Structure 1
Amino acid sequence: MHHFDVESLPAGQWRNGGGTTREIASRPSGTDVFGWRASVADITRGGPFSAFPGVDRTLTLLTGDGVRLTCPGVFDRVLARAGEPFGFSGDLDLVAELPGGPCRVLNLMARRGSWTARVERVTDPVVPRPGHSGVFYVLRGTWQDESASPALRPGQGGWWDGDDAAPGGALVPLSPDAAALWADVAPVE
């Protein structure tokens, strides 16, 4: 498992100036076209979201008072509860509003037809599936994988490739308040 701390990941500015992105993983690495990608975005002002044709996206609020995503005639959704994933097509032209100010989100993208992704909030142990890729992000409390690595705290986590020999075994909560986001990314057969 490749561990990360969001605060130590480099932040890149959005082209429209509405926020920054900290990339957790993009696979395959070293290419311009990703199969799947996970990042944390700090949205600092409302405006249009970049379209990603052929990509399915899942956005999950991490911190802040929420973000309102609208696509006229398709949906109008407020992400107001931290840890609640919302999936949508990257083909859509979206506009984001920040009713309560800046916020932070986890953004998972999967190339349609090649990968599928499911994001869920978990409080019980999870085990990476063989042949799947994924991301684990701690929302609160402490967690541990079965390696000898230090406990994971909020804003930290790990990711792995389906090609990794062993992604680290089960991820288990160490505190009664522990909650995390679990993203399972699978190749399309």
Structure 2
Amino acid sequence: MSVSPFQSFALADIAPTRWKNGGGNTREIAVWPPGAGMDDFVWRLSVADIERDGPFSAFPGIDRQIVLLDGAGVALRADDGSFSHRLASVGEPFAFSGDTSLQSALLDGATRDFNVMTRRGYCRARVESFRTGFAVSTGSHTLCLLAVSGTWQAKGDALRLQPGEGLLSRAAGPASTHAFEPAGDAALCLCVTLEMEPGQ
């Protein structure tokens, strides 16, 4: 019998860390290397609850992607004027540089957002949203799946994801392909592929 390459997680089981400014909290799904802090991680996956308007800190050398999971959304404005973006569509990733600090303004109440952070030159991330059946491959890269809405069933496997549940596959072992199907309508699943840059 084959061994699943996935480790399961549930957002409800991850203790939130309150922000220093009191404007929200973060649940860290995974970080590399294990135990790394905000100054020395290679990649970091987390979910944030934004409860009020406020600043986003700068993270020089970090590439960021954010995806709205729940709520009306948030307006993001870079302090250096490089961009202004309304994050208002659930499941649509927005990529930006962490080199500059931001100001965030909630559009209509609190939001929940998925965050991907990668250290430039060391790792790169691809974030995809699936609303219909899809297949992913494990092996030389790290893979993270998060069910946002609906129930997702792995084909030929007992794996089943409810909203707020996910799977993580580390970059190791032989390559394998896994297909997932939604059980019903209005389903959304996020998939993050993390690949180390050559030489890392």
Structure 2 distance, partners of 1:173, 1:146, is: 7
Aligned-pair identity in percent equals: 41
Q: Any stretches of 5+ residues in structure 1 without a counterpart?
A: none
Poorly superposed stretches of 4+, deviation over 6 Å:
none
Contact in 2 for aligned 1:134/1:159 (Cα 8 Å): yes
Deviates more, 1:27-36 or 1:138-147: 138-147
1:24 aligns with 2:32: no
Is 1:145–1:168's contact at 8 Å kept on the other side of the alignment? no
TM-score by length of 2: 0.87
The aligned amino acid for 2:102 is: L
Which residue in the other structure is 2:140 paired with? 131
Any conservation in 2 of the 1:18–1:46 contact (CA below 8 Å)?
A: yes
Please tell me whether residue 187 in structure 1 is matched to residue 163 in structure 2: no
Q: Does 1:93 align with 2:101?
A: yes
CA distance in 2, matches of 1:176, 1:147: 18
- Range with greater deviation from structure 2 (58-67 or 152-161): 152-161
Listed as ranges, the gaps of 5+ residues in structure 2 are 1-5
Which runs of structure 2 are paired with 1:148-187 in the superposition (5 Å)? 148-163=157-172, 165=173, 169-177=177-185, 178-187=187-196
Matched positions, count: 188
Given the alignment of the two structures, is residue 13 of structure 1 paired with residue 18 of structure 2, yes or no?
yes
Q: Evaluate the alpha carbon distance shift between residue 176 and residue 188 of structure 1 in structure 2; reply closer, same or farther with a 3 A threshold.
A: same
**Partner of residue 34, structure 1:** 41
- Per-residue CA distance 1:105-132 (angstroms, 9 max, x = gap): 0001011100000111113222134211
| Aligned counterpart, 1:68 | 75
SS in 1 for 2:27: strand
Structure 1 counterpart of 2:103, which letter? V
* Cα distance, 1:59–1:142 mapped onto 2, change above 3 Å: same
Larger Rg over CA atoms: 2
